[in-house]
Amino acid sequence: MLRTALRNVLAHKARLAMTVLAVCLGVAFVSGTLVFADSSAAAYRAAASKNFAGIAVTVTPKDSPDAPPGEDRTSVLDDALVRKLAGVPGVAAVRPTADGSATLSAADGTPLRAGKAWANLGAAHVPGANGEDGRYPLVEGRAPRSGEEIAVDGGTAAAGRFRLGDTITLATDGPVMAKRLVGIVATKDTRVTAGGTLALFDRTTAQQLFASPGRYTGIDLTATPGTGQAELSRRVAPVLPAGRAEATTGAAQAAQQAAHVDTLTRGHAKLPLVFAGVSLFIGSFLIVNTFTMLVTRRTREIALLRAIGASRRQVAGSVLAEAALLGLVSSAAGFLLGIGVAAVLPGLLGTGQDTLPDGPLVIGPRPVVAALGVGVGVTVLAAWLPSRRAARVAPVEAMRSAQQPPSATRTRIRAAGGLVLLVLGAGLLVSLSGVKDASVQNLQDAMLACGVLVVALIVLAPLLAAPVIRLAGRLTGRFGAVGHLARENALRDPRRTAATASTLMISTALVAGLAVVGHSTAQALDRQAAAGLGADYVIGTRTPTQGIDPAAVQRVAAAAGVRTAAAVADVSLFVGGGVRQIAGVEPAAVDAVMRLDFVDGSAKELGPGRIAVSATLAREQGLAVGDRLDAGIGRGRDLSPYTVVGVYRDNPVAGDALGDLGEVRSSGFLPGSVQRILVTTDDGAASGAVGKRLRTAVGDNPLLKVQDRAALVHEAAGSVGDLLTLMYGLLAIGVVISALGIVNTLAMSVSERTREIGVLRAIGMDRAGVRRMVRLEAVIVAAFGTLLGLAGGVFSAWAVGSLANGAVAQYAFVLPWGTLLLVCLLSLAVGAAAAVVPARRAAALSPLRAVAEG
């Protein structure tokens, strides 16, 4: 039986090749993702270990209740402590550091890699006895020597298009600075190599920026040969100021940093795994369909084996052996392809200025085992049902020339089971349609319901094939006899047609559902981002702890094309035991930059001790105009009485409450600063020229964002953009595997209908007619799968819309007609394209030979 299985595999190489490709894609994504994850982790560990290779212990300041009031925490790390540490037995060298955060502007003035504030590093260049800094060795130029000079690493220079001698604008936590680039260094810091930036200053300048004059943020110690890190840490501890500084080994720092960067970039490995799961799930239907057709095709052969003594177990084992051989071939090919996927993933995921650390590919046992398990396991599981069907073949019944249709009992059982699953899936989705709580449990229930609904459609597909295809046949009937024959061929075996269409149905359902949810969410975010905003531009900070210099407000107001520039101070509001947000504004400018809908009162009465609140806050606290509210604004948190002068409908621009600008600004994290500037233009529209003038007015500060309405919407819809990217990736996978399934089915169908095609050719059908008939049959199958997929996907998206409404305010169910139409046209085009080779093969049959061989 094993020889028989091997012979059957070799006898159907062309048909099985498409199944191998489908499984190969899934294995490639799985193994490639695992290789990529292992390689990235090794690159992070290697970079971190190199970066801390020469550091045995680092001394850092520690918050302490015993510290003098108002004293900076870094004040304990001074030159006196450096000298003490140098005298500790086992210390070979001492390197004081002054590190912090510095955000740079690229050569074109745009912020450079500003999306990763944790990786925008600023540090002091600390030369050793040889004049070189071992941590940041020079590659080109020289080290900075004054406060007007700077050095950067090679990756930052390449990303920002910097050259020696260029003037670089940057900011640390305040106004923008300009410094001349004098050197380029190398670094192994994983925060930088994972997509960050590095700016080096001379020691005095770094102390002024990140600590205080004569003070440091850390002190690195190198151990003498034979002294362990843990031992040196114990020797250093007695020298440190009690409770105000601590010692950490270099190994512990390397592990902490590698884990931190790995956590921040862990999501990169998830997207390929999603693609792998989808491709394997869809590909399993292609495998089932292929083996089902092969079993049907070899019915007489199986009957002969049964007649000469083969048992049911041997017949089933033969089919499963074929599947195992197929899985081994697919696993080997998929693993090799997966290595290529792992090699290109860093470039695909590290788009733009955000790069991933380089390193060699690490191929461990996990990807190999996963490739074998996925490839062989999925293929054998998919072939299990066809193997049981083959084992049930009776020798006498199988000798009949006509294929036996499924019994009425099996059809009724299938219909009953499908209806039960349909009611369960649809019922659970409908029950969730009124739930607005986007909790984890509700989301899991929604995913389960969608999965049950898809399974129900798969079970019912053979029963739905006849009515749907007859409906589609009205269109193909316009092609005359060829169209009628194409419809009847599709109806000849509803189970095969349904299995072929299921691959396209699943991918279409996924894409349609994601497209509807994504489009509806994007529309909601669009409305939410622009709702309540009367300004044409918003200038804001990148982090809540930053502020905008009030002088920048005056420069913005004086810029050409600006009609109104209103400063806004955003501060925490402590009320009713909770924390809200209050926006400080000038009452006279509110109407010009915000679209407020007041239920009662107005913003004109704002002033010291008088605030306006949102409708939600008013409802929660039971407030109305004229009421007194005890609240704390900003740092002090001391409760003070405030008079409510207005209640407005919820507004994302205004926040929970509005207060007087002067009062709110004085209580902020950075007293006197503001967090936003709302700008209206003379012509009431955004333009590139005005945007450039606004960036110039704020000094091209990379810590500030200058955004028009379109940019605000784009930023708010960032996660939706990732969702749409995932959607198109799923569509591509589904299209490829669906095309393989259609090709496989049509090739088998043409082979089965050799005599029939020969008769058609003999009675006058030309080659073009045969090709048209096969193509129309493919289009009918594709249309059937597309219609089922659209119905399931759109219904699921409608049902889970309430959950999205609970997560995204102003969510409303909106159909993306353009995208859905594109999906339909693409599916039909896939069906027509998949039929090219089978149609050409059918048309090439010689009438006489076809009749004789059939």
Integer Cα distance of 662 and 640 in angstroms? 16
Are 419 and 463 within 8 A, CB to CB?
Answer: no
Q: State the pLDDT confidence band at 567, using cuts at 50, 70 and 90.
A: very high
Instruction: Specify whether the CB–CB gap between 610 and 631 falls below 8 A.
Output: no
Output the six-digit token pair for 487.
Answer: 């419809």
pTM for the complete prediction?
0.66
Which range (266-275, 518-527, 567-576, 647-656) has the least confidence? 266-275
The answer to whether the beta carbons of residues 513 and 798 sit under 8 Å apart is no
Q: How far is CA 138 from CA 103, 126, 141, 187, 221, in A?
A: 21, 12, 7, 9, 21
Average pLDDT score over residue span 315-319: 78
Helices and strands counted in the chain (H then E): 30, 22
pLDDT of the residue at 267:
58
Q: Is 211 exposed, middle or buried (CB count within 10 Å of its CB: 0-12, 13-18, 19+)?
A: buried
Upper half-sphere CA count for residue 712 (Cβ side, 13 Å): 24
Please report the DSSP string for 235-302 in residue order: HHGGGSPTTTEEEEEHHHHHHHHHHHHHHHTGGGGHHHHHHHHHHHHHHHHHHHHHHHHHHHHTHHHH
What DSSP letter does each residue of 100-149 carry, written as one string? EE-EEB-TTSSBSSTT-GGGEEEEE----TTS--SSS-EEEE----STTE
Per-residue confidence (pLDDT) for residue 179, from 0 to 100: 95
Residues 246 and 38: their CA atoms lie apart, in Å, by 33
Q: What is the average per-residue pLDDT within 548-562?
A: 90
Q: Is the dihedral of CA 255, 258, 263, 264 positive or negative?
A: positive
Higher per-residue confidence, 218 vs 549: 218
Range in 19-33, 201-215, 585-599, 656-670 with the lowest mean pLDDT: 19-33
Mean pLDDT within 779-802: 87
How confident is the model at residue 353, as a pLDDT?
Answer: 46
If you write DSSP's letter for every residue of 452-475 in order, what string do you get? Answer: HHHHHHHHHHHHHHHHHHHHHHHH
List C-alpha distances in Å: 632 to 49, 131, 494, 517, 585: 47, 54, 71, 40, 17
Q: Any residues with CB less than 8 A from the CB of 343 and at least 6 apart, and which?
A: 361
Q: What is the 8-class DSSP label of residue 587?
A: G
Cβ-based neighbour number of residue 411 at 10 Å: 14
CA–CA dist 417, 607 (Å, integer): 69
More confident residue, 436 or 444: 444
Residue in 414, 489, 472, 568 with CA at minimum distance from that of residue 748: 489
**What is the distance between the alpha carbons of residues 170 and 114, in angstroms, rounded to a whole number?**
11
Read off the pLDDT of residues 353-402 as tens digits, 9 standing for 90 and up. 455 666 788 888 888 888 888 788 877 887 787 777 777 777 765 555 44
- Give the closest residue to 673 by CA, choosing from 550, 540, 585, 572: 550
Residue 849 DSSP class: H
Q: Which two tokens stand for residue 55?
A: 């550091």
Q: Which of 51-60, 288-297, 422-431, 558-567 has the lowest mean pLDDT?
A: 288-297
Averaged pLDDT of the chain: 81
CB contact at 8 A, 678 and 538? yes
Residue whose token pair is 């006498």:
396
The whole-angstrom separation of Cα 576 and Cα 641 is 13
Lowest mean pLDDT among 218-222, 267-271, 284-288, 543-547: 267-271
- For the ranges 114-123, 422-431, 595-604, the lowest mean pLDDT is seen at 114-123
Position 265 scores a pLDDT of: 58
11 pLDDT band (50/70/90 cuts)? low
Contacts of 294 (CB under 8 A, 6+ apart): 8, 12, 15, 386
Distance separating the N- and C-terminal Cα atoms of the chain: 28
Which pLDDT value is given to residue 355?
56
Q: Closest Cα partner for 232 from 257, 254, 252?
A: 252
At 598, phi and psi to the nearest 5? -80, 125
Highest mean pLDDT among 268-277, 285-294, 484-493: 484-493
**b/e map of 684-695 (b: 16 or more CB within 10 Å)?**
eebeeebbebbb
Contact 338, 24 (CB under 8 A): no
CA distances from 801 to 275, 511, 517, 814 (A): 24, 16, 7, 10
The token pair that represents 306 in the structure block: 């049964």
Higher pLDDT, 117 or 620: 620
pLDDT over 80 (residue 627) = yes
Q: Residue 455 above 80 pLDDT?
A: yes
d(C-alpha 806, C-alpha 201), whole Å: 48
Task: In whole angstroms, give the CA distance from residue 296 to residue 308.
Answer: 19
At residue 732 the predicted structure's pLDDT band, cuts being 50, 70 and 90, is low
Q: What is the pLDDT of residues 692-731, one digit of tens each?
A: 999 889 888 888 889 988 888 777 665 555 555 655 665 5
Q: What is the DSSP letter of 68?
A: P
Q: What are phi and psi of 628, to 5 degrees?
A: -100, 140
Pick from 188-202, 470-484, 519-533 the range whose average pLDDT is largest: 188-202
pLDDT at position 150 over 90: yes
The pLDDT, as a whole number, for residue 59 is: 93
In sequence order, the β-bridge partners of residue 153 are 185
Look at the alpha carbons of 604, 609, 615, 618 in this order and tell me if their dihedral is positive or negative.
negative
Q: In 10 A of CB 431, how many CB atoms?
A: 12
Alpha carbon distance 548, 253 (integer Å): 34
For residues 181 and 150, the answer to whether their CB atoms sit within 8 Å is yes
Q: What is the full DSSP assignment across 613-679?
A: EEHHHHHHHT--TT-EEEEEESSS---EEEEEEEEE--BTTTBSEEEEHHHHHTTSSSTT-BSEEEE
8 Å CB contact between 757 and 845? yes
The dihedral over CA atoms of 474, 477, 479, 484, expressed in degrees to the nearest 10, equals 140
Q: Which residue has the tokens 């000798």?
A: 399
Q: Dihedral angle at the C-alpha atoms of 269, 273, 276, 280, nearest 10 degrees?
A: 160
In the structure, what pLDDT confidence band is assigned to residue 92 with cuts at 50, 70 and 90? very high
User: What distance in Å separates the CA atoms of residue 667 and residue 132, rounded to the nearest whole number?
Assistant: 46
State how far the Cα of 269 lies from the Cα of 280, in Å rounded to an integer: 17
Distance between CA atoms of residues 761 and 847, nearest Å = 6
Burial 354-365 (b: 16+ CB within 10 A, else e): bbbbebeebbee
Question: 679: which strand partners?
Answer: 537, 565
Residue of 689, 672, 690, 693 lying closest to 681 (CA atoms): 690
Write the burial class of residue 213 (CB in 10 Å: 0-12 exposed, 13-18 middle, 19+ buried): exposed
Q: Where are the domains of the chain?
A: 51-264, 449-531+716-854, 549-697
